[in-house]
Amino acid sequence: VIAPSSYEPFGIVALEAAAAGVPLVVGDTGGLAEFVTDDRGRRSRPNDPADLATQILAALADPVETARRRDTAAAALPHYSWERIAARTDEVYSRTRRAVRPPRRLAAPPNPVL
């Protein structure tokens, strides 16, 4: 999968590609770059067609290395399961609930302000 996005907050396309067992060449930005590390695929500089072409050609030129990266990406998928994401989200909400303090009552001014 080639995903040269210049903006991608989460990068689910990379997770889907890894789940499908296909190699990845992505833009080095946001969520794509967080998942597609050097050992999981190839990244190109954003908005740089020449670098994108270089990364694609490198993936095609070395099928053994590309397969190794593809397999490493697939092995990382359990870290991004919906169950794990839901559990982490629940942890954040729980910490937030525990951190909330009850509202304080403000003292009234001693004399009315006119």
**CB 29 within 8 Å of CB 50:** no
Alpha-carbon span 114 to 70, nearest angstrom: 72
The answer to whether residue 114 scores a pLDDT higher than 80 is no
Superfamily assignment of 2-99 in CATH?
Glycogen Phosphorylase B; (3.40.50.2000)
- 96 CB-side CA count, 13 A: 6
State both tokens at 99. 């951190």
Residue 76: burial class (beta carbons within 10 Å; 0-12, 13-18, 19+): middle
Single pTM value for the model: 0.73
Structure tokens belonging to residue 62 = 């070395």
Domains in the chain: boundaries: 2-99
| pLDDT tens sequence across 2-55 | 999 988 888 899 999 999 999 999 999 999 999 999 999 999 999 999 999 999
